[in-house]
Amino acid sequence: MADDDANDPGSLYKVADKVPMEQLLKQDENDASLQAYKKSLGLTGEVYSPPNDPRRVVIVEMRVICENRPGGDIVYPLADQNAVLKMKDNPFTLKEGCKYKIKITFRVQHEIVVGLKYVNQVYRKGVRVAKEEEMIGSFGPQEKPHEVSIPRNDWEEAPKGVISRGAYTAKSVFIDDDRQTHLSYEYSFSIKKDWNE
């Protein structure tokens, strides 16, 4: 009987041992290229490490940006677990055929996060109708939040037509190369003929 894990390239991946941030900042101080890489991660000598919040990645906000939407952007605060739990009960509307994107605001603290990825799956009547994965990147701990738009350089277009209209649910997760899940949540939305229908 074949071992399924042996055929999965991801199962061969071994996570490197963790290096304390203080040691990492002092390593190879004379290596200009390594110092430039550390700077690109936001490692400037000050490690943001709030004592009362052990999370490595804090997803602060999800913002749905739609072209020409009356009332502006749809904003979900996500830093608080109670707000996360309420998302599914506060659906938003997309006008069929509208152009939209999602902007994620997040902060990294305590340690570097490597290979942060956003995975989103959309369901209609219990059947998955779409799945997207977006590599966000690697970041060092810093107090200033990062912002990433998905897609980064363009817009998504909502489906259009009678068949596409209706209620949808979605499940999102933020996971890194260490296979640590930093946040998962569910939300819901509808596709309608018009914004205010």
Residue 37 sits at φ, ψ, to 5 deg, of -65, -45
Q: What is the pLDDT of residue 72?
A: 92
- What CATH number does the domain containing 143 carry? 2.70.50.30
Task: Tell me, yes or no, whether 2 lies in a domain.
Answer: no
Task: Tell me, yes or no, whether 125 lies in a domain.
Answer: yes
Pairing of strands 181-192, 92-95: parallel
Which residues 6+ apart lie within 8 Å of 197 measured at CB?
93
Task: Tell me, yes or no, whether 1 lies in a domain.
Answer: no
Q: What does the alpha-carbon distance between residue 139 and residue 66 come to, in Å, rounded to a whole number?
A: 28
Q: What is the pLDDT of residue 88?
A: 87
Task: Tell me, yes or no, whether 197 lies in a domain.
Answer: no
Task: Tell me, yes or no, whether 57 lies in a domain.
Answer: yes
Q: What is the pLDDT of residue 116?
A: 95
Structure token digits, residue 114: 């490597």
Q: For residue 146, with 0-12 CB atoms within 10 Å meaning exposed, 13-18 middle and 19 or more buried, which class applies?
A: middle
| Helical residues (DSSP H) of the chain, grouped into ranges | 21-26, 32-40, 81-86
Closest C-alpha among 152, 55, 46, 149 to residue 105: 149
Q: What does the alpha-carbon distance between residue 78 and residue 111 come to, in Å, rounded to a whole number?
A: 20
pTM recorded for the entire structure:
0.77
Q: What is the pLDDT of residue 4?
A: 44
Task: Tell me, yes or no, whether 103 lies in a domain.
Answer: yes
Low-confidence ranges of the chain (pLDDT < 50): 1-9
Task: Tell me, yes or no, whether 4 lies in a domain.
Answer: no
pLDDT, tens digit, for every residue of 84-107? 988 989 999 999 999 999 999 999
CA–centroid distance for 110 within its chain: 18
Number of domains present in the structure of the chain: 1
Q: How many Cβ atoms sit within 10 Å of the Cβ of residue 187?
A: 23
Structural domain that includes position 135 = 15-192
pLDDT, tens digit, for every residue of 45-73? 677 788 999 999 999 999 999 999 999 99
Question: 126: number of CA atoms within 13 Å, CB side?
Answer: 0
Q: What is the pLDDT of residue 47?
A: 74
* First vs last C-alpha separation in the chain: 56
Q: What does the alpha-carbon distance between residue 93 and residue 188 come to, in Å, rounded to a whole number?
A: 9
Task: Tell me, yes or no, whether 142 lies in a domain.
Answer: yes
Q: What is the pLDDT of residue 2?
A: 44
